[in-house]
Structure 1
């Protein structure tokens, strides 16, 4: 079955449920896990005009680690080998695929937020982009 699962989270309630389900699957099949969150790169014209690039990078890294903390704790409880990973990238879907490939993962598990209609078209879907661009199997959790 699966030996190494990448579980992606953005910290939302949907993602947190997917982390829980993905870790329980990993425990069941005795797989190890890379628990991933993607942070946005620093933009001068963005929402951080009063903060420098280095301060933003520290904040983003810390916030990313906080997003992964509860999943890492659950992994310890379930006795799943888990490597938390915070990656900075413009395109979250590309970061997820790149991390899965570089870590040697044989499954990507992630949530679908279930947006429909205009919001799905306008906002796009990271999950849909991962499904479209990877050859690694993807488990979509709701």
Structure 2
């Protein structure tokens, strides 16, 4: 079946459930696992940029700490299942594109991720990372809802 599964996660409850199900699936399939956390850089447009360097530094520190915690938790859950797990953290303005490129770069043959199910105006305006991954991926994408 699948030999290497990419599991993108943001640490949300649904994403954590998807991670656990994906790890169970990987164990049953005897597949390698790569867990990915994508950090979106802070993007602020202001007429008065005074002090923004402090805000950027604070955001970067906190988002990196949060991503490190998410990945450490994922590795611990994988270890409970006797799975080898590589953790990858990337900063990128395009999470969906980053997920697809990371899967290609690491030779993954499947992506398993959560769907956060935006609807209505938010889905129309912002789109969905999951939908963009589905549209851009050349490998199978399993979506946990």
**CA positional deviation for 1:13:** 1.1
- What does 1:95-114 correspond to in 2, within 5 Å? 95-114=98-117
Runs of 5+ unmatched residues, structure 1 = none
**CA positional deviation for 1:61:** 2.2
Aligned residue number for residue 24 of structure 2: 24
TM normalised by structure 2 equals 0.88
Aligned residue number for residue 74 of structure 2: 71
**CA positional deviation for 1:69:** 2.2
- What does 1:1-142 correspond to in 2, within 5 Å? 1-43=1-43, 45=45, 49=52, 51=54, 56-142=59-145
The two structures, once aligned, show a CA RMSD in angstroms of 2.0
How far apart are the structure 1 equivalents of 2:33 and 2:22? 9
TM normalised by structure 1 equals 0.89
> Which of the pair has more CA radius of gyration?
2
How far apart are the structure 1 equivalents of 2:97 and 2:18? 19
Count, aligned residues? 141
